[in-house]
Amino acid sequence: MKLELYNTLTRKKEVFKPLKGNIAKLYTCGATVYSYAHIGNLRTYIFEDILKRVLLYDKFKVKHVMNITDVGHLTSDADTGEDKIELGARRENKSAWEIAKFYTKAFQNDIKKLNILPPNIWCKATDNIKEQIALIKKLEEKGYTYIIPNDGVYFDSSKFKGYGKLARLKIEKLKPGARVQFKEKKNPTDFALWKFSRSDKMRQMEWESPWSLHVFPGWHIECSAMAMKYLGTTLDIHCGGIDHIPVHHTNEIAQSEAATGKQFVRYWLHGEFLILEKEKMAKAEGNIITVQSLIEKGYDPLAYRYLCLTAHYRTPLTFTFEALDSAQNSLNRLREIIASSKRELKVKKFKINKKDQFKFQEVINDDLDIPKALSILWGVLRDKNLKPHEKLALIKDFDQIFGLDLLKAKEEKIPKEILKLARKREQARKEKKFELADKLREEVKQKGYLIEDAQDGFIIKKV
């Protein structure tokens, strides 16, 4: 079955075909580790995790690389402002290295709590300085760079034919200063490859280079250098949030393709924003919610994952606690139904229903249509024609994509006496002996348990 993905570069769905065999080379932009990731950031990582799971479900071999930006990301995309890591270090009175290490671990813990599969390779900007220098030297040799004294080494975007093709920028309509503040730049869209440290302000993170003794990398160069180091000159898929399209990913394409003369990425996928009170959730705005803050409010992190699954990755998702409550309730209901089924059916090997499995694969292969996939899951649970073991087999299969650990639902130990009464009541219902059924239900309640009727039987819960 063909997998179709929406390619930002072409603005259309395309059948995914890896460049080499069935190996999918995937690069995803990771965290800038100066503070905790917020749930808006994490929506993007959940979408990328779904993509990876679909690739694996379709039997592709995935080589997944994710970077950690621990230097070089300035507070403005226009090459101005302070390095976010240095800023975080001053805020918390720690070293830049301590800040980066602490928030890298925090980010990795967050994605673990959300059941996001880790990449095959984690790569840090500070571990790949020589690769970044080598890439800039190659660009310099090809005539794509120039130096602004006391500022840095810049990429001349006017020399790269097709600059802005990902974002479909109208370069001629950009006024000088529209995206930059330095008058020394030759073009509004030129960007820093390496920055020179200010003589009046000591940095904690800086390196020697052919251009200056005290330098640090630009944000964009690190991704190109590390992506090509681990995945080769041409990647199959590159992902990120839609905010990366006009600057970061546009600049990655320019510097990579200028250096190699080859296409950098074949399929670009981007996730939409999480919206909070009509605004994009962003650290800079101070309107952030973290995974830990959800836990402290009593939510299961996987309830947030479930909420993200209810909206297509290319549509904005408005976050409210009412919506999260609904997601938590739906997830709890799923777990109760599944735990009840497992208790009633002690079978370890389940036979899959191919018809429902095919329908499921069809929708996930249609540009990751997970909301439809969720509706198929609920349809399976409500289908009276499916036997319990068939349902559990499908749930196990589907959860390879959802990542909700559905079959790990805890089976509450129900006393044999309660189970016997519940089964007797179920038989009374089938025989339309409703008065007896009500009496048995009340007897069970008096013993501390509730019976909830389901389309395929019943669920028992403690009061």
Beta strand 274-276 with 121-124 is: unpaired
Is 72:206 a contact under the CB 8 Å cutoff? no
Q: How far apart are CA 425 and CA 432, in angstroms?
A: 10
- pLDDT tier at 180, thresholds 50, 70, 90: very low
Is 226:256 a contact under the CB 8 Å cutoff? no
Token look-up 């779904």 returns: 50
Is 276:40 a contact under the CB 8 Å cutoff? yes
Give the other-Cβ count within 10 Å of 227's Cβ. Answer: 26
- pLDDT tier at 358, thresholds 50, 70, 90: very high
- Structure token pair of residue 385: 């024609």
Q: What is the mean pLDDT of residues 52-71?
A: 97
Q: What is the pLDDT of residues 141-169, one digit of tens each?
A: 999 999 998 889 999 999 999 999 999 97
- Structure token pair of residue 103: 């928030």
pLDDT at 259 over 70: yes
> Mean pLDDT score of the chain, rounded to an integer?
89
Give the other-Cβ count within 10 Å of 10's Cβ. Answer: 10
Is 304:324 a contact under the CB 8 Å cutoff? yes
pLDDT at 179 over 50: no
Q: How far apart are CA 30 and CA 138, in angstroms?
A: 25
Closest to 29 in 3D by CA, of 274, 226, 234, 193 = 226
- pLDDT tier at 281, thresholds 50, 70, 90: low
Q: How far apart are CA 148 and CA 164, in angstroms?
A: 23
Q: What is the pLDDT of residue 193?
A: 96
pLDDT at 177 over 50: no
Tell which wins on pLDDT, 364 or 76.
364
- Structure token pair of residue 232: 């080769």
Q: What is the pLDDT of residues 296-343, one digit of tens each?
A: 999 999 999 999 999 999 999 999 999 999 999 999 889 888 877 776
- pLDDT tier at 451, thresholds 50, 70, 90: confident
Q: What is the pLDDT of residue 447?
A: 77
Q: How far apart are CA 399 and CA 390, in angstroms?
A: 14
The set of residues, in sequence order, having a beta carbon less than 8 Å from that of 399 and lying 6+ positions away, is 405, 406, 407
Query: What are the DSSP E strand ranges found in 242-351?
Result: 265-271, 274-276, 279-280, 317-318
Q: How far apart are CA 174 and CA 177, in angstroms?
A: 8
Q: How many helices (H) and strands (E) does the chain have?
A: 14, 16
From residue 160, how far is each of 133, 143, 164 by CA, in Å?
20, 10, 10
Q: How far apart are CA 113 and CA 46, in angstroms?
A: 11
Q: What is the pLDDT of residues 401-417, one digit of tens each?
A: 999 999 886 655 667 78
| Alpha helices for 345-431 (secondary structure H) | 354-364, 370-382, 388-402, 416-430
Query: The pTM is what?
Result: 0.87
